[in-house]
Amino acid sequence: MEDTYYLAVETKPNNYFPINLIDLNLIPKNTTTKLEELDKFTLNYTIEELRKAIKESNILDIDDNMPLVIIYNEKHATRKINVLTKDISFDMWKYIKDNFSNKNFLNKVYNFLQNKTSTNLSAIKNPQDIKEYISNLAKLPYPVTRKLYFYLYEK
């Protein structure tokens, strides 16, 4: 069950209804449980388009108060994360480039990543070159990069 992710509707707090992508009237006609592939799928649509597709599939009576989330199991509990959709227009790499000269910003990124991964982060601790810094960030595992994306997006 590790590394298995599902698009879901949070019908009530901590109560999730997983959506099988095949049931939706959207392209592609396959299903995935990989986070990166699920993100690539949801990035093609807005939240409203996804809600409409769920309503049209008649698998759940969904209203606007029910958030769309991605769920996964971790340590015997169901966890949720935000859905990445076309509604979010944030260029993380440009944001990092624009703030590269700010040492406080770089320290916040480093501290955030230190809490989220067990990967050796020495290559990004004291960056000298922006290209190398971004290259090293891009080499992080996708779930960690995704967490960084939302961390910076919410700032």
Evaluate if residue 1 carries a pLDDT over 60.
no
What's the pLDDT tens digit per position in 5-37? Answer: 999 999 999 999 999 888 888 866 667 889 999
Q: Is the pLDDT of residue 109 over 70?
A: yes
pLDDT above 80: residue 44: yes
pTM of the model: 0.82
DSSP 78: E
Condensed to tens digits (0 to 9), the pLDDT of residues 59-68 reads 888 888 899 9
Estimate to the nearest angstrom the gap between the alpha carbon of 25 and the chain centroid.
Answer: 23
With DSSP H G I counted as helix, E B as strand and the rest as coil, what are the percentages for the chain, rounded to 5? 45, 15, 40
Q: Where in the chain are the domains?
A: 5-82, 92-153
Calculated CA dihedral for residues 131, 133, 135, 140, nearest 10 degrees: -170
